[in-house]
């Protein structure tokens, strides 16, 4: 376990300021409906939520951008939305955050991905998704590649955020990695099932336990199972680091020298794990782009994940909360 001091973290956070990080991935709009429950519906055995508030947040790869900006970086979002009201709402939220929207394609052949969460008395009770998982057209893919060619040279790192919503094809993934490697850029990946083994030769690959089990068709029941899967994964895709997030069991890092490190969770309480993976990849990538040691970067990301798990809904990490969490555990 790596122990990091507040002084070291403050110094590292200063290095985050102004870092240009490209976020390529599935953009989403998160809708929240909040209220309380005092009765059961007479129509079905389900609670009736008496709505008190409704609001929207940036989600998916855009939540990665929120986390990056909250930590002082300059996120460059590259992705696709629909030409619909949800897309207009999404762009409005991006404008509110002063985020660049020049590299987002509006496609009239698909809806904007929307996740609606209903929260009753502080607990999420149901989620409804509006989405298309169809692959984007060749025209949209070429626009995305052109955006990347324009931005990669001046970036500090590239995050690929894959939610299997149709943006990231094997071809786009390969060409993005080739382009980024040509400029010696850090590339980190938060994968999903469909393209799992397409991310060859990236800097860091960050699956969770469920994803790595599904990819290999196994169940991880022991440390040996986990380490074997990580070694097989590193061998297959040729990445520098594998970081597996394990929920309440923390994280497992396999480094470039084939050494393992286990990082225990830093969550003080768990209300909602939504967005925790986005926080991990954001914090981790920024730390790597700032030149810090990989184990320190992972430890910092672990603290950040612990903070956001204690919040209700998808909430970005802040430097203040990160410093408070580190102080709490010392």
Q: What domains does the chain contain, in order, with CATH numbers?
A: 6-27+61-111+133-328 (3.40.1190.20)
| Residue 160 Rama label (left phi>0; alpha psi -120 to 50; beta) | beta
Is the per-residue pLDDT at 318 higher than 90? no
Exactly one of 255, 272, 278, 293 is catalytic; name it: 278
Read off the pLDDT of residues 160-186 as tens digits, 9 standing for 90 and up.
999 999 999 999 999 999 999 999 999
- 278 given a catalytic annotation: yes
Taking the model in full, what pTM does it have?
A: 0.92
- Here the tokens at position 44 are 């079905």
What is the per-residue pLDDT for 9? Answer: 81
**Helices 223-237, 209-216: inter-axial angle, 10-degree rounding:** 70
Across the chain, mean pLDDT equals: 92
Q: How confident is the model at residue 272 (pLDDT cuts 50, 70, 90)?
A: very low
Torsion of CA 86, 88, 94, 100, to 10 degrees: 130
**Strand order across the beta sheet in which 113-120 lies:** 47-60, 27-40, 113-120, 123-130
């Amino acid at each position: 376990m790596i122990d990091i001091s507040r002084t070291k973290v403050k110094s590292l956070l200063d290095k985050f300021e102004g870092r240009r990080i490209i976020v390529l991935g599935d953009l989403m709009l998160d809708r929240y409906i909040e209220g309380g429950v005092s009765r059961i519906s007479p129509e079905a055995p389900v609670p009736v939520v008496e709505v008190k508030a409704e609001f929207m947040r940036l989600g998916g790869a855009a939540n990665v951008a929120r986390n990056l900006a909250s930590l002082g970086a300059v996120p460059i979002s590259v992705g696709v939305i629909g030409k619909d009201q949800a897309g207009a709402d999404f762009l409005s939220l991006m404008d509110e955050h002063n985020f660049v929207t020049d590299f987002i394609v509006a496609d009239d052949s698909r809806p904007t991905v929307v996740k609606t969460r209903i929260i009753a008395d502080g607990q999420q009770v149901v989620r409804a998704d509006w989405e298309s998982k169809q692959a984007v057209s060749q025209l949209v893919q070429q626009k995305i590649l052109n955006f990347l060619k324009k931005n990669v040279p001046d970036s500090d790192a590239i995050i690929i955020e894959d939610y299997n919503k149709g943006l990231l094809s094997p071809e786009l993934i390969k060409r993005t990695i080739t382009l980024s490697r040509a400029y010696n850029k850090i590339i980190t990946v938060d994968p999903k099932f469909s393209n799992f083994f397409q991310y060859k030769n990236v800097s860091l690959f960050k699956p969770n336990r469920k994803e790595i089990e599904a990819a290999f068709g196994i169940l991880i029941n022991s440390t040996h199972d986990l380490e074997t899967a990580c070694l097989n994964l590193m061998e297959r895709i040729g990445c520098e680091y594998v970081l597996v997030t394990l929920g309440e069991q923390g994280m497992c890092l396999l480094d470039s020298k084939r050494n393992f490190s286990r990082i225990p969770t830093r969550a003080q309480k768990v209300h909602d794990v939504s967005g925790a993976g986005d926080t991990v990849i954001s914090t981790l990538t920024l730390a790597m782009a700032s030149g810090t040691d990989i184990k320190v970067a992972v430890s910092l990301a672990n603290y950040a994940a612990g903070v956001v798990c204690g919040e209700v809904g998808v909430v970005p990490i802040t430097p203040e909360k990160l410093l408070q969490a580190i102080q709490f555990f010392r």
